Amino acid sequence: MMKNIIIGLLLVFSCTSLPAQSYDELIGQAMDAVEKDSLSQAESLFKKALKLEPGNMRNALLFSNLGTIQRRLGKEKEALESYSLALNITPYSVTMLLNRASLYLELDMLDKAYVDYCQTIDLDAKNKEALQFRAYIYMRRRQYPEARMDYQRLLEEEPGNKTARVGLVMVNQKDKRYREALEELNRLIVDCPRDASLLKARAELEVEMNTLELAVMDLENAVKLTPNDAEIYVMCGEIYLAQGKKREAYAAFERAIKLGVPRPQLQERLKASK
């Protein structure tokens, strides 16, 4: 992120030779502050430059960089304002739209993030970041057909994109298209055999398909890869309970507690396991 700020500011100097020396000096000083990670100082210098020449077209980049600095400083509201002011000057900038969209998403402002991602895709139909995160928003909204379309478009651009492949698994699972979800998960596990999260995902799918023995096998393999993952033991315990194996369930829940799960959170399951 900081590298992008520096590169962007270098472009400001290389693309212009305007005589506003004090404006350029302030930008240069801001660059120095960024390089030294003095973000509060850089923020102040950018603001001074913007006030000095409020009508300068180069201010779009300055506002964008100011927003990125404010974001790093934890000033999310000010960062959104800066990104918006940058877009007021250059409304068709994909980079600036993505910057603002990602911050909206970080703040769980899904509707606003969605608008920015849609506008980005209107400008760049193959933009991978926008497709990925719009699909995520569709999943949050339970708009599964729309999410499927975005994941499929993303895979057309990048067939091996793991996020899109996992996304399609989730869409198929939500749509109860279990066979398709399982087939893709099987391929993913072949491609990424040491990814325990994929084994856990397949176990969850197998539970929904009521193939509990297969789910236990996947969780046993997952725990070999990540032996300190408490969630695996919780999942195992719930499957054992469903199978009527109370002793195994109790042991699994106790192991999860030793790995950090608060005992009150599992108290009811422990009682059911006795």
Q: Report if pTM > 0.95.
A: no
Indicate the CATH number for domain 1-90: 1.25.40.10
CATH among 1.25.40.10, 3.40.50.1820, 1.20.1300.10, 2.60.40.10 for 201-274? 1.25.40.10
Residue 4: pLDDT band (50, 70, 90) is low
The two tokens of residue 219 are 């969780």
Same fold: 1-90 with 201-274:
yes
CATH among 1.10.40.30, 1.10.1420.10, 1.25.40.10, 3.90.226.10 for 92-175? 1.25.40.10
pLDDT of residue 273: 93
| Lowest mean pLDDT across 4-18, 35-49, 236-250 | 4-18
CB 27 within 8 A of CB 9: yes
Rounded to whole angstroms, the Cα distance separating 148 from 159 reads 14
H/E stretch holding 26 reads helix 21-35
CB 27 within 8 A of CB 5: no
What are the extents of the domains in the chain?
Answer: 1-90, 92-175, 201-274
**CA 214 to each of CA 141, 158, 204, 211: distance values in angstroms, whole numbers, following the listed order:** 31, 31, 10, 6
pLDDT digits (tens, 9 = 90+) for 89-132: 999 999 999 999 999 999 999 999 999 999 999 999 999 999 99
pLDDT of residue 73: 94
CB atoms within 10 A of CB 58: 22
Judge whether residue 142 has pLDDT over 90: yes
Judge whether residue 5 has pLDDT over 70: no
Q: What percent of the chain has pLDDT over 70?
A: 92
pLDDT of residue 129: 97
Rounded to whole angstroms, the Cα distance separating 13 from 1 reads 19
Identify the residue with better confidence: 21 or 100: 100
